[in-house]
Structure 1
């Protein structure tokens, strides 16, 4: 029997966190290729440290996208995040690009040929999850951890709070009663600040009103325990303070630990890679299951083998909240959506330059956008699913 009363914690990191700087650069490069060639192949990793960025990986795309152009885009991304500090500056950082052609051995298993449809770019298991804890059908701890940092980034960039720096981390612990979140018991916020004379108390005075406003009314009380810059001064931040790498924040990117993760990172990968596209499809299906009223919670797993088009298996767990049998949803999912790599990309419109925006504040729980961004957050399949299992 599942517990109904407990504490659960999730963390988020800002766009200025070293790993997120790398995710942003890698996804900016994915967008650059897709904007010119929608069928481009990109697997791009980024490392960032003190005034140095190293980009490496495999690509298949137009030669018009040069290393100089990618270096330029990298600098623009760093500038947009807000890094103009001595140890990491968008203008002065050394950027090295080491991208080479995709392996022909991998390509032959993935590309369509003759009667063979395009296969998965790798083996793997991908998970999607949805629940009724927030309006966007996300687990509440990660939803609010993201929201806090997004708000602080907005007031920093607008100039309303110029004392804040780009690098930050949040952590929210929520108390659950009868299976639903009811209050915040602990809030952790570590944020870079520009003025070295600011104390932790000074930073608390800046951020606490925004954090309180971002949480539901009544969730923050006199009993809530705060930890704001608990180690003290935080002036040296970003890649100057800690080396960053693409793909090291996969739990931040998904459900904050409230649901399984298959292991693969998203950023830096074009949508032929099922690590990314099938995880989006799994979230899409799980969200539509909950939106259709078929369950209050849904975990969906989809499994693939490299070079094989059709998924090996689809698994659904409704966590005891289902109105129908899990097996019926597993069957319906494959009927209402083509879960081959090509089918997922076409259904969700993934061959577009929509990925740099996903690199911070979560890939899920975001509003669908007019240009196709976050298309996997739509609930347009809810009625179709409901009819399929009726």
Structure 2
């Protein structure tokens, strides 16, 4: 049995993307906007900002050390408004929702690690300052993936298609082509590969938040014609 992707006669690969109104993406946008606001006025600012949201409430928390003033509630409301959350019936309304902010300065331990790398502070390794990166890290992360020449975006076809689908889903909502759509949504695309090459699109799944007075048959028809067939 072949173990390598490019040796497999049949391999199904699936990717998922979410719209700007999906809670995960919404929280990311708020945290990113806070970071952008800090760095705009304080390039040396340090931001470890997390956001959580539920019906009618956004909570922004974390550790921020900066000389800049940042209007966090204003950033939250602007991000919600740009994503399309302008009606309480959608689950949250940019104008009337609650915004809770719990932010403190960066902890001394993390600050020390970011300011000067442990190797430099401890004199480990016998390397000079010029040979060491003096700036440490306050956190770490693991990323899995690789670039490929399968699409112009240099991403796998499943990723490219799923992202295009959610962009199209947002577009038909904003342009009013499907006025019953609401901001939250996601797409999932499965592509069949043969010996490492994309062979066909196997499955497309679209989930879309919508007003309750539209039938599932109408949604299926509209999404198929206005979203899926425009991309796939």
The TM-score bracket by the shorter chain reads 0.7 to 0.9
Contact 2:62–2:102 (CA<8 Å) still a contact in 1? Answer: yes
How big is the shift at 1:166?
A: 0.6
How big is the shift at 1:128?
A: 4.7
Per-residue CA deviations over 1:287-308 (Å, capped at 9, x if unaligned) read xxxxxxxxxxxxxxxxxxxxxx
The equivalent position to 1:30 in structure 2, one of 26, 35, 53, is: 35
How big is the shift at 1:63?
A: 4.5
Q: Judging changes above 3 Å, is the alpha-carbon distance between structure 1 residues 191 and 7 closer, same or farther for their aligned structure 2 residues? A: same
Structure 2: distance between partners of 1:201 and 1:124: 43
The equivalent position to 1:105 in structure 2, one of 105, 109, 121, is: 109
How big is the shift at 1:71?
A: 0.3
Name the residue aligned to 1:85: 87
Partner of 1:130, secondary structure, is coil
Where do residues 155-304 of structure 1 align in structure 2 (5 Å cutoff)? 155-194=172-211, 196-209=212-225, 210-215=227-232
Contact 2:38–2:69 (CA<8 Å) still a contact in 1? Answer: no
Per-residue CA deviations over 1:313-343 (Å, capped at 9, x if unaligned) read xxxxxxxxxxxxxxxxxxxxxxxxxxxxxxx
Name the residue aligned to 2:55: 50
Q: Select the structure that is richer in helix.
A: 2
Structure 1: distance between partners of 2:25 and 2:142: 24
Structure 2: distance between partners of 1:77 and 1:136: 26
How big is the shift at 1:124?
A: 4.5
Contact 2:16–2:189 (CA<8 Å) still a contact in 1? Answer: yes
Structure 2: distance between partners of 1:126 and 1:190: 26
Contact 2:38–2:68 (CA<8 Å) still a contact in 1? Answer: no
Q: Select the structure that is richer in strand.
A: 2
How big is the shift at 1:177?
A: 2.2
Partner of 2:147, secondary structure, is strand
How big is the shift at 1:172?
A: 0.9
Unaligned runs of 5+ in 1: 216-390
Name the residue aligned to 2:21: 16
Structure 1: distance between partners of 2:137 and 2:26: 28
The equivalent position to 2:165 in structure 1, one of 132, 148, 151, is: 148
Partner of 2:179, secondary structure, is coil
The equivalent position to 1:119 in structure 2, one of 136, 139, 145, is: 136
Contact 2:22–2:185 (CA<8 Å) still a contact in 1? Answer: yes
Work out which of the two has the higher radius of gyration on C-alpha atoms and give 1 or 2: 2
Where do residues 297-376 of structure 1 align in structure 2 (5 Å cutoff)? none
Partner of 1:20, secondary structure, is helix
Per-residue CA deviations over 1:144-203 (Å, capped at 9, x if unaligned) read 111100111122112232121111121111111232112212111110112x22122111
Structure 2: distance between partners of 1:60 and 1:24: 20
